[in-house]
Structure 1
Amino acid sequence: MAYLGKVYKFDREENFDGFLKSIGLSEEQVQKYLQYKPSSQLVKEGDKYKYISVSSDGTKETVFESGVETDDVVQGGLPIKTTYTVDGNTVTQVVNSAQGSATFKREYNGDELKVTITSSEWDGVAYRYYKA
């Protein structure tokens, strides 16, 4: 788990706009999210993890225990339930809301982080890439 504590900065994305449109965002909201290019960091604190995302909008910290569902709220005030599962160099986040579910699979490989994004409402796949 050499990736713990490393800061990964956004590098590029593929098909992210397709994912955003599939979850019902307006064109204006899609354009805003396409500008979202955060850095991310995962820290382990005892039995829990802290996922830290830093962008021009500020810092968001999410504390979780692997395999335990938590309540959260996304931008726009939509309540969601999220479960993170840590398995070696892969952290899988499953998000459930009234609108459906989405999965964010974060695969850490040295100084690279690949996030694979899928949704129950979409047949496509999006990717976001980060570098430490």
Structure 2
Amino acid sequence: MSFTGKYELESQENYDDFMKLIGIPAETIEKGRNFKFTSEVVQNGNTFTWSQIYPGHTMTNNFTVGQESEMQTMSGKKFKAVVKLEGGKLLVNFDKYIHTSEIVNGNLVETSVAGGVTFKRISKRVA
């Protein structure tokens, strides 16, 4: 299934606990808690452009499944990683957490796990 589309945040679970655990400053957590950001994904075969658009800031990761790519974390730190595609899910080991993305009933479901805390974000397709 293609990930291509524009998705708007609908709900999230364990936001505060997860952000604190990965070292996001309290002020940034507070600002981001109620952002209704948008994710825009363009998939061309195994190559992706994945943008998260926040008020006043856009973060974009470009990657090809199975190849090392430079990525950026939620906190802005850059690192190199290999994105895998397994069972229709994209998996990547970020610096402090493991992140998976999948399409479920047309929605983008993203799950990040660190230190026993699971952060889940569901975004509905809007285009």
* Structure 1 and Structure 2 fold alike (TM over 0.5): yes
Point out where structure 2 has 5 or more consecutive residues left out of the alignment: none
Instruction: Give the letter for the 1:34 counterpart.
Output: R
Q: Give the match for residue 126 of structure 1.
A: 119
Shift of the alpha carbon at 1:88? Answer: 4.9
Structure-2 change in CA distance of 1:75 and 1:46 (3 Å): closer
Tell me the distance in 2 between the aligned counterparts of 1:13 and 1:77: 20
Q: Give the match for residue 4 of structure 1.
A: 3
TM-score, normalization by structure 2: 0.81
Kindly report structure 1 stretches of 4+ aligned residues shifted beyond 6 Å: none
Alignment of 1:67-106 (within 5 A): 67-74=66-73, 78-96=77-95, 101-106=96-101
Structure-2 change in CA distance of 1:73 and 1:92 (3 Å): closer
RMSD across aligned C-alpha pairs, in angstroms? 2.2
TM-score, normalization by structure 1: 0.78
Instruction: Give the letter for the 1:125 counterpart.
Output: T
In the alignment of these two chains, the number of paired residues is 125
Contact 1:89/1:109 (8 A) holds in 2: no
Tell me the distance in 2 between the aligned counterparts of 1:7 and 1:14: 21
Alignment of 1:7-22 (within 5 A): 7-22=6-21
Between the aligned residues of both structures, percent identity stands at 22
Contact 2:102/2:110 (8 A) holds in 1: yes
Shift of the alpha carbon at 1:25? Answer: 2.5
Q: Give the match for residue 43 of structure 1.
A: 42
Q: 11-20 vs 51-60, which deviates more?
A: 51-60
